[in-house]
A and B are shown apart, each in its own frame.
Chain A
Amino acid sequence: MHALEKILAAHAERDSVRTGEIVNCRVDVAGINDLYPQAMYSFREIGGVRVKDPERVLIFLDHYAPASTVRQAENQKQFRAFAREQGISGLMEINEGVCHQVMADKGYSRPGRLIVVTDSHTTTHGAFGAFSTGVGATDMACILKTGQLWFRVPEIMRIRLEGSLQKGVFAKDLILHIIGRLGADFAVYRGVCFEGSLISQLSVSERMALCNMTTEMGAKAAYIQPDAVTMAFLKDKEIADFTVFETDPGYVYADDLAFDASSVPPQLALPFSVDNVADLREHLGVPLDQAFLGSCTGGRLEDIEAAARILRGRHIAPGMRMLIVPASKKVLRDAISAGYIGELIEAGCTLVSTGCAACLGTHEGLLAEGESCISSTNRNFPGRMGHNKARIYLASPAAVAASALAGSIADPRDYL
């Protein structure tokens, strides 16, 4: 069995599971974000009175942090009341940040756990050796009521990453490259396991970016076998309570692919799909209006540091605006202590409150008709960040910073 299958089996109290079979699993961490009051409504509609395991439930007020409309405020208010009434102590207020980063920061993301969040990018926690996947509101209601959810045991494919990333190239470039090659539906219903000599060279932050974006290939879950880097991260947080599962030798993958990281230059996903990927250099000079640095994909300390390194002592181009959205309170605090935030503000950037912000096109930095934005986020669908005819280019945080300086798409290697 694969480690991902072993996690499902353990949570279904079974010795083994088979691909394609449907199993009922006990969920370790169930996260709801503020887009989903429907989870509370559905919970009541299915006869829910008391939440089964309130200590396993987290509520994140992150997508609308802070509320920009009365309706958003009403939705958040209902969540606060629900948490009080159900004894859910894990309500993350609007100052905490994006769900996935908060879960990593606070030690909820651990090897061997079964993590379910009402958010598609829940694949992120595969970076820690967890089985983590996104669901909708009604699935979440079932978890609230029973503590369990049904899962179809997915096929698992492997992507081996060999070599080393070039200077100025990041995990974000690599995953964009992979999605561009394989397509937006290559991994639908599948688990994606990353292996290879590159992995041990990647930080936790880079691993999270990699696993996060497997969602853009349709993946159900991602997985990186916990190693020394994972252990150091957990030790630092004084987390000792977790189980590491290992894939059996000789496990046969549904697909087995390999990529040479050394040969990948900076990448760019062009409007209007994440798999519309090209080498960034082919599009140098495309004029921009906005640069966005943030989200559960590209709003961590390392991402802000990469931008600060490029923008330090310089100023973004006239007519350009650049938004910095730290992914969590911890990221914000660390970025302030390291001096990055001050440097970025001097460089002309706008600091936005921690959370999802304009990543999903609801508030704080929306685009007007015909505007173009380069972004460290994960989606460039029509209307994702504002007007349906605004154009979003996805790239690494370093490329976002370099492009803000130039006022048009630029290669970060020219500024490092």
Chain B
Amino acid sequence: MIDRVFRGRAHVFGDNIDTDQIYPGRYLDLTDHREMAAHCLEGASESFAAAFRPGDIVAAGRNFGCGSSRENAAIALKVRGVGCVVARGFARIFYRNAINLGLPLIVCPRLPEVAAQGEELEVDLERAELRNPKSGLAVPIEPVGDYAMRILDAGGIKPLMLAEGSR
């Protein structure tokens, strides 16, 4: 089972962060996941790579992950060590890719009220809220669907399919 509470510093992004920004097309022929992770969010922010610590949270606006179906975008975030992505909304192929890889995606329409660059955030799946411990503010998050939660709890679709295959 995955944790029900995630804590980490927020890296804040705007609306429509597309997969070309999360993982630029010129690196698409890389297949080594570590090498891929080095380019995580390279097209969206010049400071992200230096400021990021594993476990940090990516906080974004609407339609995060729009654009191409490249799983490389989700792989880069996951392998870089992003704890979870909280956004006002996600594009659908990216959503499937991330959940399949076991990267939690949390929808929070009121995210801008609590997320501030570099400040701590707490995602609480049990109480379905997103908190900023510094300001003390909390806003609701949308529950993760049962099907997606099952995949996340298994650590991704691969372990799940292996487990089901051996049953």
Report B-chain residues with C-beta under 8 Å of the C-beta of A138. 71, 97, 100-101, 156-158
Report B-chain residues with C-beta under 8 Å of the C-beta of A321. none
CB distance from A410 to the nearest CB of B (A): 27
* Bound CA–CA A379/B30 (angstroms): 22
* Bound CA–CA A158/B75 (angstroms): 34
Question: By the criterion CB–CB under 8 Å, are B100 and A47 in contact?
Answer: no
28 interchain pairs, CB-CB under 8 A: A36-B71, A42-B158, A46-B158, A69-B29, A75-B29, A135-B93, A135-B97, A136-B96, A137-B71, A138-B156, A139-B96, A145-B161, A150-B147, A185-B62, A185-B66, A185-B91, A188-B63, A188-B89, A188-B91, A218-B91, A360-B25, A360-B28, A361-B20, A381-B21, A382-B43, A383-B21, A383-B26, A384-B25
Report B-chain residues with C-beta under 8 Å of the C-beta of A384. 20, 25
* Bound CA–CA A84/B101 (angstroms): 28
A-B residue pairs, 10 tightest by C-beta: A136-B97, A136-B71, A185-B63, A361-B25, A71-B29, A46-B161, A137-B71, A138-B100, A120-B69, A381-B20
Q: Does A229 contact B (CB under 8 A)?
A: no
Report B-chain residues with C-beta under 8 Å of the C-beta of A383. 20-21, 24-26, 43
Q: Of A71, A136, A381, which one neighbours B70 at CB under 8 angstroms?
A: A136
- Smallest CB gap from B64: residue in A: A185
Q: Does B162 contact A (CB under 8 A)?
A: yes
Interface size on A, residues (CB 8 A): 45
What is A's interface to B at a CB cutoff of 8 Å? Answer: 22, 35-38, 41-42, 45-47, 63-64, 69, 71-72, 75, 118-120, 134-139, 142, 145, 150, 152, 184-185, 188-189, 218, 220, 273, 360-362, 379, 381-384, 388
Report A-chain residues with C-beta under 8 Å of the C-beta of B43. 381-383, 388
* Bound CA–CA A63/B72 (angstroms): 15
Report B-chain residues with C-beta under 8 Å of the C-beta of A152. 147
Question: By the criterion CB–CB under 8 Å, are A218 and B68 in contact?
Answer: no
What is B's interface to A at a CB cutoff of 8 Å? Answer: 16, 18, 20-21, 24-26, 28-31, 43, 62-63, 66-72, 74-75, 89-93, 96-97, 100-101, 147, 156-158, 161-162, 165-166
The answer to whether A120 and B89 touch (CB under 8 A), given A47-B162, A184-B16, A382-B20, is no
Report A-chain residues with C-beta under 8 Å of the C-beta of B89. 185, 188
Question: By the criterion CB–CB under 8 Å, are B63 and A184 in contact?
Answer: yes
Question: By the criterion CB–CB under 8 Å, are A120 and B25 in contact?
Answer: no
Report B-chain residues with C-beta under 8 Å of the C-beta of A188. 63, 89-92
- Smallest CB gap from B160: residue in A: A46
Question: By the criterion CB–CB under 8 Å, are A136 and B74 in contact?
Answer: yes
Report B-chain residues with C-beta under 8 Å of the C-beta of A142. 157, 161
Report B-chain residues with C-beta under 8 Å of the C-beta of A218. 63, 66, 91-92
* Bound CA–CA A273/B21 (angstroms): 12
CB distance from B108 to the nearest CB of A (A): 15
Question: By the criterion CB–CB under 8 Å, are B18 and A381 in contact?
Answer: yes
CB distance from B62 to the nearest CB of A (A): 5
Q: Of B30, B66, B91, B156, which one neighbours A71 at CB under 8 angstroms?
A: B30
Report B-chain residues with C-beta under 8 Å of the C-beta of A134. 69, 93
The answer to whether A379 and B67 touch (CB under 8 A), given A138-B97, A361-B24, is yes
* Bound CA–CA A45/B62 (angstroms): 33
* Bound CA–CA A240/B93 (angstroms): 32
CB distance from A68 to the nearest CB of B (A): 9
The answer to whether A46 and B91 touch (CB under 8 A), given A138-B158, A184-B63, is no
Report A-chain residues with C-beta under 8 Å of the C-beta of B147. 22, 150, 152
* Bound CA–CA A105/B21 (angstroms): 32
The answer to whether A47 and B165 touch (CB under 8 A), given A120-B69, A136-B71, is yes
Question: By the criterion CB–CB under 8 Å, are B68 and A47 in contact?
Answer: no
Question: By the criterion CB–CB under 8 Å, are B157 and A35 in contact?
Answer: no
CB distance from B164 to the nearest CB of A (A): 10
* Bound CA–CA A363/B143 (angstroms): 42
- Smallest CB gap from A386: residue in B: B26
Question: By the criterion CB–CB under 8 Å, are A45 and B66 in contact?
Answer: no
Report A-chain residues with C-beta under 8 Å of the C-beta of B157. 46, 138-139, 142
* Bound CA–CA A186/B73 (angstroms): 22
Question: By the criterion CB–CB under 8 Å, are A379 and B20 in contact?
Answer: yes
